[in-house]
Structure 1
């Protein structure tokens, strides 16, 4: 018995390349892959860089932030942020400790090593983004 293919078109788009969602996903994965390659010498990935950069930005005035603050700022999954923050803590780039006032919360603070890494990573990321998005027709 042979399976028959479902009738086409199942989509209102002529092909995947015409779907804005598919195009966004494809371009995002290309951007993330090339950014990961640029960050590899610093032992960072794009998600780790994002969490480190947000920790640096939100603590630039010396205040403590919680892991939930990073979740809220980035709009990423709480468990994913927890895993990334744990790795950054293990790598000595941030401090991740239980809050004294809310034992469910984790307080984050960028370390001097994290700040140094961020200072080296930021120009790489900004150069990468300028080149990547310039190719896509964005100034």
Structure 2
């Protein structure tokens, strides 16, 4: 029988374990912030990312949205369909590619993003109050 060994004294010194614990706590904070808006976190991310894209003047395709958000394309399609069914996003054929759909945020979607984004940013600020701007820079280095 092989006895496990570790270069670390315990999980409290493991970056991966700490990231796991922080992620779980942060996800709980996000769920709480989004609950009053009847949004899941992935719905919020896709809706808000669509808004960010649209601000540049070019509505994204579902594939572009998935790439920007880092989500699976099939899941993105399913979530976008639910958001469209709620009247928060509109899907239209892409004139340049018959297989693609362009996404636009609706007035109801804009209103919901305005409210939810305020609550999410407040929850983020509260959650990360103990860390400095260097933390965000470090996370950006790890982001694919």
Shorter-chain TM range is 0.7 to 0.9
* Aligned partner of residue 95 in structure 1, secondary structure: strand
Q: For 1:1-139, what aligned pairs fall within 5 Å after superposition? A: 6-9=2-5, 11-134=6-129, 136-138=130-132
Measured at CA, do residues 29 and 98 of structure 1 come closer, stay the same or move farther in structure 2, by a change above 3 Å? farther
How well do the aligned residues superpose, as a CA RMSD in angstroms? 1.9
**Shift, 1:110, TM fit:** 0.3
Distance 1:16 1:84 in 2: 35
Tell me by how many angstroms 1:26 deviates: 1.5
Runs of 4+ in 1 over 4 A off after TM superposition: none
TM-score after normalising by structure 2: 0.81
Which has a greater percent of helix? 2
Structure 2: which 5+ runs fail to align?
A: 134-144
Between structure 1 and structure 2, the one with the greater Rg is: 1
Provide the secondary structure at the position in 1 that maps to 2:104.
strand
TM-score under structure 1 normalisation? 0.84
- Which runs of no fewer than 5 residues in structure 1 stay unpaired? none
